[in-house]
Chains A and B, each alone.
Chain A
Amino acid sequence: MRNGYTRLTHPLVRDGEELRRADWDEALDRAASGFRRAIDGGRLTGLFSCSKATNELNFAAQKLSRVAFSSNNVDSCNRT
């Protein structure tokens, strides 16, 4: 058993097999470009939102999906 998860304190990006430390700009650019690739390529995006986070975060998350991804593929874990 993993003896306790430690808090994430900085962004990570994949570099081959590894997740390496990155700054916010690089991480957010990488995050955005992957969704841009899917949207421009006519593929679907999905968003799993968080039932432990605030209403405000859930509102922002579904708005991101509907506005920026043009997608209603957004769900919470309220089915499990």
Chain B
Amino acid sequence: MFGAGGGTSSYEEVREVADLIVLWGSNARDAHPIFFHHVLKAVNRGAKLIVVDPRRSPSAQWADLWLGIDVGTDIPLANAVGREIIHAGLANTEFIERATTGFEAYRESVEPWTLEEAERVTGIPGDAIRELAHAYGAAQHAQLCWTLGITEHHNAVDNVFALIDLALLTGHVGRRGSGLSPLRGQNNVQGGGDMGAIPNKLPGFQDVEDDALRARFDRAWGSKIPPRSGLHLSGMFDAMERGELTALYVIGENPAQSEADQHRALTLLRGLDHLVVQDIFRTATAELADVVLPASATWCEAEGTVTSSERRVQRVRKAVDPPGEARDDIEIVHELGRRLGHDLGSPRAEDVWNELRSLSPMHAGMSYARLEELGGIPWPCWDESHAGEQFLHARLWDAEVEQRAPFNAVEHDPPVDTLDDEFPLRLTTGRRLESFNTGVQTGGYSSPLHRDGSALRLAPEDGARYGIADGGRARIVSRRGAVETGVVYDTTLRPGLAFMNLHFPDEVETNILTIDATDPQSGTAEFKATAIRVERI
């Protein structure tokens, strides 16, 4: 945020300093268990935990207060919290005046969101909204953390703005202990963006459309990088549909099962002229490929680094060789480059890293030796005397703030897949602790932890209403497709809300149901809000 895509704070601040932690659209207990350990230590020393989630999730069960929100109404809730903070005199007016812009427009935009109106739209009792507002407004050090419950919506970026606005309103950013944390998934979602594996940024979040920055890379690489941002993942699928994008290289991803509206994704992948898949397993995507290249498992068969949600770059080390003829991923990429007439340099991990350090100022001070010595370093780390920054945006507390942080007033825009008589139930999807994404790495072993992993979870009231027993089976129909699966009752769901995991696509293809309505700014699909009906079978 404010120019670089990373959380502002460290886990240590969550664990040791914050007196309020808000998990908003995050079930960290299941999805970010390492981070949640830090949260639990904070709770244990007396910090307050508030969870905003449509389900009374495993995380919510640890909370002092749970706000059961109707899917896709985060902006009304955030705006009502903002309004209440202002009306209760809890806004940090000194910080707002000194460090921000756009407050007046923001104040006007949240004014219609009274507690009563927000209760009507979000389904959350007004008293609970007031309690969140007063807790956040009065906290000494608050951490506002979110995950895919905020971002897997067609208006993901607006949702994030609504949360950032709350931090600007209260000054809960840029100070040790106060911050904003988008929790990143997997082991290196953070690093993918940091390394420029995104269409609009070169490594180190340097804008690809900036002529001077691009020229620096072109000089180093002898290249002519296109001067305009490329297509993000959803944009690439659209370009496949138009017949413009015909050749795709997929490294370690499984889009045949992970994309929303799976029927469409499969059709488009099958229609490619050329599909190359590089993976450690023969995934559903590999089955569609023209060429499959066997790769290494990062955590034990490769040297390198990964970057966590607190921006900390850490070393991973090779312990064993990859099996059979499988090769190091960087070597494969460089070999492909060579065959296309381009020498991409030494494939040795430390050499690649040092090249990155020479081109990305925020990584410049992170030699492998220092990463080893310091047990990882959070970016930015400008030179070899710099320890890295534990928290970001301290500049907002300077006496003279050179670059102020803008409020972004945002409006409610409900989910694209609307509920009606034909599709009356809201389905939301999510993760569970022992499983990982499309299950390529976790579905293969039998475990009691997988029990009911592919089931549809219904509130008992809805089960009774639609005549489907606990343990029965149902056909689930959305506007895009239908699947059949078992049903279990789940008392953490409010009536009208259904839930499915996405980890067992070889059993139940959840993403046949989901909608690929995407946020125009971030390209994220609205996995979290599907309209369904259920039929007993």
The reply to whether chain A is a binding partner of chain B is yes
Q: Does B58 contact A (CB under 8 A)?
A: no
Contact A56-B304, Cβ < 8 Å, known A51-B185, A76-B197? yes
Interface size class of B (residues with CB under 8 A): 35 or more
Q: Mark B212-241, 1 if CB is under 8 A from A, else 0.
A: 000001000111111011111111100110
Q: Does B73 contact A (CB under 8 A)?
A: no
How many of A's residues come within 8 Å of B, CB to CB?
Answer: 67
Which residues of the partner chain B approach A58 to less than 8 Å between Cβ atoms?
Answer: 188, 191-192, 195-197
Which residues of the partner chain A approach B330 to less than 8 Å between Cβ atoms?
Answer: 56-57, 60
Which residues of A in the span 4-49 have a Cβ within 8 Å of any Cβ on B? Answer: 4-14, 19, 24, 27-32, 34-39, 41, 43-49
CB distance from A80 to the nearest CB of B (A): 6
Which residues of the partner chain B approach A11 to less than 8 Å between Cβ atoms?
Answer: 291-294, 325
Which residues of the partner chain B approach A37 to less than 8 Å between Cβ atoms?
Answer: 247, 273-274
Q: Which A residue sits closest to B214, measured CB to CB? A: A66
Contact A52-B252, Cβ < 8 Å, known A34-B273, A44-B231, A73-B231? yes
Q: How far is the CA of A43 from the CA of B503 in the complex (A)?
A: 34
Which residues of the partner chain A approach B451 to less than 8 Å between Cβ atoms?
Answer: none
Which residues of the partner chain A approach B197 to less than 8 Å between Cβ atoms?
Answer: 47, 49, 58-59, 61-62, 74-76
Q: How far is the CA of A35 from the CA of B280 in the complex (A)?
A: 22
CB distance from B304 to the nearest CB of A (A): 3
Number of A-B pairs, beta carbon distance below 8 Å? 347
Q: Does B279 contact A (CB under 8 A)?
A: yes
Which residues of the partner chain A approach B341 to less than 8 Å between Cβ atoms?
Answer: 68
Which residues of the partner chain B approach A71 to less than 8 Å between Cβ atoms?
Answer: 226, 230
Which residues of the partner chain B approach A66 to less than 8 Å between Cβ atoms?
Answer: 202, 217, 221, 223, 225-226
For B148, B187, B225, which residue has the most chain A Cβ atoms within 10 angstroms?
B225
Contact A50-B251, Cβ < 8 Å, known A1-B506, A5-B283? yes
Which residues of B in the span 401-422 have a Cβ within 8 Å of any Cβ on A? Answer: none
Quick one: which of B193, B246, B294, B443 contacts A2, CB cutoff 8 A?
Answer: B443
Taking a contact as CB atoms under 8 Å apart, the answer to whether B353 and A55 are in contact is yes
Which residues of the partner chain B approach A1 to less than 8 Å between Cβ atoms?
Answer: 443, 504, 506-507
What are the 3 A-B residue pairs with the smallest beta carbon separation, nearest first? Answer: A9-B324, A72-B230, A54-B304
Q: Other than the known A7-B326, A55-B188, A72-B225, what 5 A-B pairs have Cβ atoms closer than 8 Å?
A: A8-B292, A19-B289, A45-B249, A55-B305, A57-B330
User: Can you give 19 contacting A-B residue pairs, CB < 8 Å?
Assistant: A2-B444, A3-B444, A8-B294, A9-B325, A12-B289, A13-B290, A27-B292, A34-B274, A35-B249, A44-B236, A44-B246, A50-B251, A51-B189, A55-B194, A55-B313, A60-B347, A67-B223, A70-B223, A76-B197
Q: Which positions in B face A, CB cutoff 8 Å?
A: 148, 151-152, 184-200, 202-203, 208, 217, 221-226, 228-236, 239-240, 244-253, 255, 258-259, 273-274, 276, 279-283, 286-287, 289-295, 298, 302-307, 313, 316, 323-327, 329-330, 332-337, 339-342, 344, 347, 349, 352-353, 355-356, 440-441, 443-446, 504, 506-507, 522-525, 527
